[in-house]
A and B are shown apart, each in its own frame.
Chain A
């Protein structure tokens, strides 16, 4: 073989190889575009199901309120008009009906609030955290003026976010701190923050009842509670709302605690929030 023949042959072989690769590539591209299509379909399906679920939980909780109002209303009317004819036992039974109806009302309201949050967009603005947290602390202190609580409030940085949502987030965390220190002689609550790379971490720390870390995975779930309502009243929606709001802002929540030694809840919020976080 001459040198020319040799190089021609080599070129031919290269061409064949090239063709092979091209075929493989075309196949891969086809597969990829099929996968993308499937993914898009799946996303659409999921969005649809999500929407359905939202509207389901909305209408269920909405329609549940009317009969509940009737139950609590007529019980109270009955108690009011016929209280003279009731003995002590009957009075206790009535108050149980009324108390439970009220509790169910709270559950429904919280569920509604939670489902509404999913649909809500973020109104972005610069938020003065000192003002928000300060107001909540003042409000909470006014509700329980007889309690002695040592509150330490650090200077907090501004963040970008939705004012109403962040108010709610910190209200839930701080009111929890008040609630779970309720049985402490010397209650203390500390609110502060520190910065990390791209975000600010805020924390609310208390020396209250804490929680059992074994059940940590349930902590932020809807209707999940780590204390009985005899110990501490509640509906189990507060922390789910906290997590939802943090996620909507592109942040995170986590917590540390020991039983009976207090808890510390952390929320990270990005200094600047991305536009994609507007809707889920």
Chain B
């Protein structure tokens, strides 16, 4: 085991601005050392299940947490979440849904599929940075997940 090379955060976000701001907020607190950024749900599923462009990827390398955008082209966050939580090999990976939507339907659906946390991205950058940093601290340093 090489803990330093361990994949820590998988960020699935199609909005480049949001992704840049998220990564910046994490970097500021030294939480973005082992972060992988993917751009949509289809790519995320390929990555997590070792398909398509990620065929042959070492699947034992699981992220400690997935920051998942809800609204994405092709495969949306809800579908990614559903497939992850339905599969024994990925169901223990904590998933934080990050979205602009406080829509009750989205919140209920996400929880029904077993989301670990649901965050509405604050518009205000100060709050946004703080929220992202808090999430990083909590899921990387505080939270404990079953080994398998």
Contacts known (A74-B17, A77-B21, A77-B24); A69 close to B103, Cβ less than 8 A = no
Partner of A76, one of B18, B122, B126: B126
Nearest neighbor of A106 in chain B, beta-carbon distance? B123
8 Å CB contacts to B: which residues of A31-73? 58, 62-63, 65-70, 72-73
Cα(A116)–Cα(B107), bound, Å: 14
A116 and B123 contact, CB distance less than 8 A: no
Partner of A105, one of B102, B104, B124: B124
Contacts known (A69-B18, A77-B21, A108-B123); A116 close to B102, Cβ less than 8 A = yes
Q: Give every chain A residue within 8 A of B126 (Cβ-Cβ).
A: 76
B100 and A66 contact, CB distance less than 8 A: yes
A70 and B18 contact, CB distance less than 8 A: yes
A76 and B125 contact, CB distance less than 8 A: yes
Cα(A77)–Cα(B125), bound, Å: 9
B15 sits at the interface (CB 8 A): yes
User: Within the complex, what minimum Cβ distance (angstroms) separates A118 from chain B?
Assistant: 13
Nearest neighbor of A63 in chain B, beta-carbon distance? B100
A69 and B102 contact, CB distance less than 8 A: no
Question: For this complex, into which size category does the number of interface residues on chain B fall?
Answer: 10 to 19
A72 and B17 contact, CB distance less than 8 A: no
Q: Give every chain A residue within 8 A of B24 (Cβ-Cβ).
A: 77
A112 sits at the interface (CB 8 A): yes
Contacts known (A77-B21, A77-B24); A66 close to B124, Cβ less than 8 A = no
B128 sits at the interface (CB 8 A): yes
Nearest neighbor of B22 in chain A, beta-carbon distance? A73
B21 and A73 contact, CB distance less than 8 A: yes
User: Within the complex, what minimum Cβ distance (angstroms) separates B118 from chain A?
Assistant: 15
User: Within the complex, what minimum Cβ distance (angstroms) separates A120 from chain B?
Assistant: 8
B101 sits at the interface (CB 8 A): yes
Cα(A98)–Cα(B124), bound, Å: 9
Q: Give every chain A residue within 8 A of B123 (Cβ-Cβ).
A: 65, 68-69, 72, 101-102, 105, 108-109
User: Within the complex, what minimum Cβ distance (angstroms) separates A206 from chain B?
Assistant: 29
User: Within the complex, what minimum Cβ distance (angstroms) separates B31 from chain A?
Assistant: 17
A58 and B100 contact, CB distance less than 8 A: no
Nearest neighbor of B120 in chain A, beta-carbon distance? A65
Cα(A9)–Cα(B21), bound, Å: 97
Contacts known (A77-B24, A105-B123, A105-B124); A69 close to B17, Cβ less than 8 A = yes
Cα(A108)–Cα(B101), bound, Å: 12
Contacts known (A76-B126, A109-B123); A69 close to B101, Cβ less than 8 A = no
8 Å CB contacts to B: which residues of A242-257? none
B121 sits at the interface (CB 8 A): yes
A102 and B124 contact, CB distance less than 8 A: yes
Q: Mark B96-124, 1 if CB is under 8 A from A, else 0.
A: 00001111100000000000000001111
Task: Add 19 more A-B contacts to A58-B103, A69-B17, A72-B125 (CB < 8 A).
Answer: A62-B100, A62-B103, A65-B100, A66-B15, A66-B100, A67-B17, A69-B122, A69-B123, A69-B128, A73-B17, A73-B125, A73-B128, A74-B21, A76-B126, A77-B24, A102-B123, A105-B123, A112-B102, A116-B104
User: Can you sample 12 A-B contacts with CB below 8 Å?
Assistant: A62-B101, A63-B100, A67-B17, A68-B123, A69-B100, A70-B17, A70-B21, A72-B124, A74-B17, A74-B21, A102-B123, A105-B123
Closest 6 pairs (CB-CB, A-B): A105-B123, A70-B17, A73-B125, A73-B21, A65-B100, A76-B125
